Structure 1
Amino acid sequence: MREETKVVTIGNKAIGGKNPILIQSMTNTKTEDVKATVAQILELEAAGCDIIRCAVPTKEAAEAFTEIKRQIHIPLVADIHFDYRLAIAAIEHGADKIRINPGNIGSVDRVKAVVDAAKERNIPIRVGVNSGSLENQFLEKYHGVTAEGIVESALDKVKIIEDLGYDNLVISIKSSDVTMCVKAHELIAKQSSYPLHVGITESGTVLSGNIKSAVGLGIILYQGIGNTIRVSLTGNPVEEVKSAKLILKTLGLRKGGVELVSCPTCGRTQIDLIGLAGQVENMIQDIDLDVKVAVMGCAVNGPGEAKEADIGIAGGRGEGLLIKKGQIIRKVPENQLLSALREELLNMQAEKTHK
């Protein structure tokens, strides 16, 4: 278990210390397009995103931060590569945090200019090092890309900023190799007390990326390592947030939201269980309850296997059962199962609100 980390404030959020693990994502719009970027951020907010990062490849993108910030409600992070002037511009236009790799910013004077701008406004700097951008000195020292090299590179960059008199820092070390990423986080957790942003970078599509991220993040977070997370997926960033919430909930690191359990199909299944489970998964997204919902494929297993769920449905031929805590409440026509379940959940939500 990692010792408690330094507390860092990002906009209206705090990470590290005893603060909860927060979910990050990144927009895939052109940041210069304020309308499209804001629309995507608001969608991500609704899905449960706590901190959002936007690419800043141009001066216009940095300038767009002023208007974007006016229209959103979560901290806005500027993602900078190479041009130190864009980091300064993003800070001047309201970035709540900047993400840089001091190694690709250039000379110490340029890094100092960025640090001075951040220091003036007390804006945190996220020092990010990816396995794909490891410097030659570490590749030679460790004979290729290794966890040890990634960690040494990151701590080397941290020291550059510390030597400039600033320690309002977050560290990010990422690799697309799950085992390497896990090892790197285990190593750096023993050598640094700065908050860590955790993710498996370039993890892949929604299918492969979710599996790699769940395995990697699961191992890292279970050890008490990590203060913010991102599930990097090649897809709609809303899917990243959904996955991150589920990973945290599965590990017991975040409460709230409906948890869905459903049985695999078998020869007894007499309804479209796959379709029904998918419909339920979509239907529960806006339900504000900390409950477990079961979707079972037959009346044989339904009540028994769903007894640990707060509420559930079990399908039969032409009709199904509505179940609470393993007890059958009533029979419902098959085409009304989904609406009956939603009605019960909304009633439970209303009861919770009035308590």
Structure 2
Amino acid sequence: MRKETKVIRIGNKAIGGGNPILIQSMTNTKTEDIAATIEQINKLEAAGCDIIRCAVPTLEAAEAIKEIKKSIHIPLVADIHFDYRLAIAAIENGADKVRINPGNIGGTEKLKAVVDAAKLKNIPIRVGVNSGSLEKELVEKYGGVTPEGLVESALDKVHAIEAMGYDNLVISIKSSDVLMCIKAHELIADKSSYPLHVGITESGTLLSGNIKSAVGLGVMLYEGIGDTIRVSLTGDPVEEVKSAKLILKALGLRKGGVELVSCPTCGRTQIDLIGLAGQVEAMIQEFDLDIKVAVMGCAVNGPGEAKEADIGIAGGRGEGILIKKGKVIKKVPEDKLLETLREELLAMKAAL
């Protein structure tokens, strides 16, 4: 069951309060390069990104937000480190939310200036705390970086902003340590009703990052914790969005899009199953069908193993079969399997 959290609006989207869990990513272009940033954001939106974050390290980047916003359709979050003036400039130029770490923004007066600017535009502040920047006194208090220290740090900052008369907040507490991240979120979910932005930060490359993110996010989301997620990967941000969609679908938290199932290779396999599965995975991206597609390597066991799939293909020596709900529909030459499957998907799409 989802933890009950407050509803927070970010541009034309809403998180918390039982709203669908939204997917975020972050551009890796120079935000000052308006054309490149717009191009990447639109690619991410097409892949399924709901909210996009952009780094704002300079005044030029903050001012670029105004132009970027004219050509995108999803909310834009300005990511600020250290300089409170950049947060204010980003807000003035139309950012739908700002991400700050109040601990490194420059003191109470500067934090209040950011809060006042956000209050004027009524945009949320994401209070971000990272295990790599936990305050020295909390490290000493807890004998190191701990989940308890992360939670205390985040809540201290939240209370400071609340004392300034503002509660349009989202909380983010991140660590590259999966178990620490899970524990910290379990603790804060019981202590706060603000929406939580969850993810495993600095999780790694496409392989290791996906595994850590799937494990960490899977546990937290299964426990009902999290209102918006980011899969942080060292790679193309589009891959972050693809992974986030799969994690949500695997947990039954998002519908739509084709789900691919494929069998592991074994000694019975007589086709290039790995290559075929990869081709199918790429091909199905163009279909917004809420179905399951199977790619099986054995024409003998394939129909039975794929009976829970809506449609599938299985290969043998030089030929393959088209399967629907576990029943063989027809045989086709091996080199026509992909084409046959695509034709069937097009027919299913046209029938909607």
Which bin holds the TM-score, normalised by the shorter protein? over 0.9
Question: Where does structure 2 lack aligned partners over 5 or more consecutive residues?
Answer: none
Percent sequence identity over aligned pairs: 82
SS in structure 2 at match of 1:194:
coil
CA–CA distance in structure 1, aligned partners of residues 187 and 288 of structure 2: 38
- Note closer, same or farther for the CA distance 1:324–1:2 as it changes in structure 2 (3 Å cut): closer
Tell me the amino acid that sits aligned with residue 227 of structure 2: N
After superposition, what is the alpha-carbon deviation per residue over 1:64-88, rounded to whole angstroms, capped at 9, x for unaligned?
A: 0001000000000000000000000
Which residue does the alignment assign to 2:110? Answer: 110
Is the contact between residue 97 and residue 124 of structure 1 (CA under 8 Å) also seen in structure 2?
Answer: yes
SS in structure 1 at match of 2:232:
coil
Which residue does the alignment assign to 1:349? Answer: 349
CA–CA distance in structure 1, aligned partners of residues 12 and 343 of structure 2: 35
The RMSD of aligned alpha carbons is 0.6
Tell me the amino acid that sits aligned with residue 4 of structure 2: E
After superposition, what is the alpha-carbon deviation per residue over 1:146-184, rounded to whole angstroms, capped at 9, x for unaligned?
A: 000000000000011000000000000000000000000
Which residue does the alignment assign to 1:23? Answer: 23
Q: CA deviation at 1:301?
A: 1.1
Q: CA deviation at 1:132?
A: 0.3
Tell me the amino acid that sits aligned with residue 305 of structure 2: E
Question: How is 1:295-334 mapped onto 2 (pairs within 5 angstroms)?
Answer: 295-334=295-334
- Note closer, same or farther for the CA distance 1:115–1:348 as it changes in structure 2 (3 Å cut): same
Question: How is 1:152-171 mapped onto 2 (pairs within 5 angstroms)?
Answer: 152-171=152-171
CA–CA distance in structure 2, aligned partners of residues 258 and 204 of structure 1: 27
SS in structure 2 at match of 1:71:
coil
Is the contact between residue 2 and residue 189 of structure 1 (CA under 8 Å) also seen in structure 2?
Answer: no
Q: Which sits farther off after the overlay, 24-33 or 339-348?
A: 339-348
Which residue does the alignment assign to 1:193? Answer: 193
Question: How is 1:1-355 mapped onto 2 (pairs within 5 angstroms)?
Answer: 1=1, 3-352=3-352
CA–CA distance in structure 1, aligned partners of residues 2 and 274 of structure 2: 41
Is the contact between residue 2 and residue 18 of structure 2 (CA under 8 Å) also seen in structure 1?
Answer: no
Is the contact between residue 2 and residue 190 of structure 1 (CA under 8 Å) also seen in structure 2?
Answer: no
SS in structure 1 at match of 2:139:
helix
CA–CA distance in structure 2, aligned partners of residues 222 and 93 of structure 1: 38
CA–CA distance in structure 1, aligned partners of residues 282 and 6 of structure 2: 38
Q: CA deviation at 1:2?
A: 5.1
Tell me the amino acid that sits aligned with residue 201 of structure 1: T
Is the contact between residue 10 and residue 123 of structure 1 (CA under 8 Å) also seen in structure 2?
Answer: yes
Tell me the amino acid that sits aligned with residue 63 of structure 1: E
SS in structure 1 at match of 2:70:
helix
Is the contact between residue 147 and residue 181 of structure 2 (CA under 8 Å) also seen in structure 1?
Answer: yes
Taking structure 1 as the reference length, what is the TM-score of the superposition?
0.98
SS in structure 2 at match of 1:23:
strand
CA–CA distance in structure 1, aligned partners of residues 142 and 116 of structure 2: 33
After superposition, what is the alpha-carbon deviation per residue over 1:267-300, rounded to whole angstroms, capped at 9, x for unaligned?
A: 1111100000000000001101000000000111
After superposition, what is the alpha-carbon deviation per residue over 1:78-105, rounded to whole angstroms, capped at 9, x for unaligned?
A: 0000000000000000000000000000
Tell me the amino acid that sits aligned with residue 329 of structure 2: I
Is the contact between residue 258 and residue 287 of structure 1 (CA under 8 Å) also seen in structure 2?
Answer: yes
Tell me the amino acid that sits aligned with residue 316 of structure 1: G
Question: Where does structure 1 lack aligned partners over 5 or more consecutive residues?
Answer: none
CA–CA distance in structure 2, aligned partners of residues 172 and 347 of structure 1: 44
CA–CA distance in structure 2, aligned partners of residues 22 and 2 of structure 1: 14
SS in structure 1 at match of 2:161:
helix
Q: CA deviation at 1:346?
A: 1.2
Q: Which runs of 4+ in 1 moved over 6 A?
A: none
Is the contact between residue 269 and residue 298 of structure 1 (CA under 8 Å) also seen in structure 2?
Answer: yes
CA–CA distance in structure 2, aligned partners of residues 2 and 267 of structure 1: 44
Q: Which sits farther off after the overlay, 338-347 or 145-154?
A: 338-347
